């Protein structure tokens, strides 16, 4: 039995605010990719799916005169740091296991090299999975952040993924 499900995360107002900002459809797609990669590689599917789902919640909107300013974004972005912190706070508040919350936060912190001074960090299998899952859903020009999904479809996709995770955990405990 898990302490927190994806559906419970999604039901938090604050989670929805930040998930919508960076694209709910992208968040769900990355959660699914992370789940499948984790399953293939014998990594905890619950942790992988949660990290995938929340990986971009640290985004800030770098708009200038109504347009996204890539220069500002590149120079100032720290979304993996903010995301790790936001996800951790949210998960702990929901009652997540603290070790899991930390592992998820670290996977979010290292999901991209874009803000790091160098790109030579050695990732754990889980951290690598979340990075790959994100890259799998990337579209040119950042279009993956703008894909839309209606809330009924979103909630049904998350429920289905929750069931898939529960099934995996059940298998593991046998």
25: its two tokens: 């459809």
Let me know: does 101 contact 47? Beta carbons within 8 Å. Answer: no
Fill in the per-residue mask, 34 to 63: x = in contact with Fe ion (CB under 5 A), - = not in contact.
----------------------x-------
Which segments of 55-95 does DSSP mark as H helices, in order?
70-76, 79-94
Q: Shortest approach of Fe ion to residue 108 CB, angstroms? A: 10
Q: Quick one: 56 or 162, whose CB is closer to Fe ion?
A: 56
- In angstroms, the CA 162 to CA 140 distance is 29
Report the candidate in 34, 12, 24 with the shortest Cα–Cα distance to residue 57.
Answer: 24
What is the smallest separation between the CB atom of 119 and Fe ion, expressed in angstroms? 17
Minimal distance, residue 134 CB to Fe ion, in Å: 4
Nearer to Fe ion, 66 or 141 (CB): 141
* CA torsion through residues 99, 16, 112, 64, sign: negative
Based on the shown chain and the rule CB under 5 A, indicate whether residue 77 belongs to the binding site for Fe ion.
no
Under rule CB under 5 A, which residues in 128-157 are in contact with Fe ion? 134
- CA dist 58 and 168 (Å) reads 29
Q: 67 φ, ψ to 5°?
A: -125, 145
Q: CB of residue 88 vs Fe ion: minimum separation in angstroms?
A: 18
How many residues line the site for Fe ion (CB under 5 A)? 2
Which of residues 134 and 162 has its CB atom nearest to Fe ion in the complex? 134
Which residues bind to Fe ion, rule: CB under 5 A? Answer: 56, 134
């Amino acid at each position: 039995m898990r302490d927190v499900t994806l559906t419970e995360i999604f039901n938090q107002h604050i989670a929805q605010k930040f998930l919508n900002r960076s694209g709910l459809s992208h968040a769900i797609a990355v959660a699914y990719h992370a789940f499948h990669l984790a399953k293939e590689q014998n990594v905890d599917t619950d942790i992988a799916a949660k990290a995938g789902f929340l990986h971009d919640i640290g985004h800030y909107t770098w708009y200038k005169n109504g347009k996204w300013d890539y220069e500002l974004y590149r120079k100032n972005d720290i979304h993996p740091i903010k995301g790790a912190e936001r996800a951790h706070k949210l998960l702990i508040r929901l009652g997540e296991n603290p070790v899991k919350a930390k592992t998820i936060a670290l996977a979010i912190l290292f999901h991209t090299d874009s803000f790091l001074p160098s790109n030579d960090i050695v990732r754990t299998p889980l951290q690598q999975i979340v990075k790959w899952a994100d890259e799998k859903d990337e579209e040119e020009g950042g279009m993956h952040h703008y894909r839309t999904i209606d809330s009924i479809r979103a909630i049904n996709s998350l429920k289905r993924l929750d069931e898939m995770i529960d099934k995996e955990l059940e298998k593991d405990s046998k």
